[in-house]
């Protein structure tokens, strides 16, 4: 039994904000997909959480880390089991709109469930994931799903083939979620279409792009660069940013775009990958 899991990077193919709730949260409609790459989480003999990897310096390893919160929640619901320690190799940028801590929490829950012989689709596990954050249930399943409510009400998304070539790019500028959601202008621009998810994504939008660009203007440059690449089928910001992505018809087209972005902006973080 493998004692490691990938915290798969999350993409929002579309993200529609329908309204701001009285408590300050937002009602959204979104299409979650996941790529084949991400952070790497493994069990260790030592208790607690150790961090490694390029982006480890941007994280705290204490009890507030979502991996440790997931482990505590699992123990409360299913019993302590074996002593649990983790090593998290942080390969994804922090505060980047691609899952981050939510993806790591999902990986922790899958690891713990596998060790205890639990189905990751166990409703008790889904309920636990929802207590950790709105994106965590989607990150737990890490497959194409439509999210509604705050993003935690999930239904399977049809029409997203695995293996689609994707390029993720981040300007290496962290972007907090709160100010971006807070910058939404409050205008409901309409629902996310039902049916085929790729068609809905193409017809959709990310309502957080405009407020994110006000905070980090480089996002507009990044999107323009991705949209100018030959073969780019869909280029959009993910989540609350600042990571943006483009989907391509082939790995060769994606790799050509990767080289073009590297030449134009060598300091930016890039991840050529594929959809799961």
Active site residue 10: yes
Signed CA dihedral, 59, 165, 15, 144: sign only:
negative
Q: Please tell me the distance from the alpha carbon of residue 223 to that of residue 241, in angstroms, as a whole number.
A: 11
| Beta-sheet strand order (sheet of 165-170) | 234-237, 244-248, 165-170, 269-274
Residue 200: strand pairing partners = none
Given the residues 39, 135, 207, 258, the one annotated as active site = 135
Active site residue 188: no
Roughly what angle, to the nearest 10 degrees, separates helices 251-264 and 218-227? Answer: 140
Given the residues 10, 37, 207, 258, the one annotated as active site = 10
Query: Among 190, 187, 242, 185, which Cα is nearest to 213's?
Result: 242
13: tokens are 């193919």
Question: Mind telling me the catalytic residues?
Answer: 10, 135
């Amino acid at each position: 039994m493998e004692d490691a899991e990938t915290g798969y990077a999350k993409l929002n193919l579309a993200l529609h904000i329908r309204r701001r709730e009285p408590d300050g949260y937002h009602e959204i409609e979104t299409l979650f997909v996941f790529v084949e790459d991400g952070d790497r989480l493994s069990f260790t003999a030592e208790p607690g959480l150790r961090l490694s990897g390029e982006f480890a310096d941007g994280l705290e390893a204490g009890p507030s880390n979502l991996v440790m919160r997931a482990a505590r929640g699992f123990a409360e619901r299913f019993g302590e089991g074996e002593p649990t320690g983790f090593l998290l190799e942080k390969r994804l940028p922090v505060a980047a709109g691609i899952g981050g801590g939510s993806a790591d929490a999902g990986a922790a829950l899958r690891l713990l469930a596998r060790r205890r012989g639990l189905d990751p689709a166990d409703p008790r596990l889904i309920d636990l994931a929802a207590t950790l954050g709105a994106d965590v249930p989607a990150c737990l399943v890490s497959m194409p799903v439509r999210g509604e409510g705050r993003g935690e009400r999930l239904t399977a998304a049809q029409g997203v083939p695995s293996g689609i070539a994707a390029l993720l790019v981040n300007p290496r500028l962290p972007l907090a979620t709160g100010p971006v959601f807070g910058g939404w202008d409050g205008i409901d621009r309409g629902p996310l279409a039902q049916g085929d998810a790729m068609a809905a994504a193409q017809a959709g939008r990310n309502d957080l792009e405009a407020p994110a660009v006000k905070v980090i203007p480089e996002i507009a440059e990044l999107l323009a660069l991705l949209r100018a690449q030959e073969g780019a089928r869909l280029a959009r910001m993910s989540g609350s940013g600042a990571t943006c992505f483009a989907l391509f018809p082939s790995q060769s087209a994606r790799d050509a775009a990767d080289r073009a972005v590297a030449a134009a902006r060598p300091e930016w973080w890039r991840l050529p990958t594929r959809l799961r």
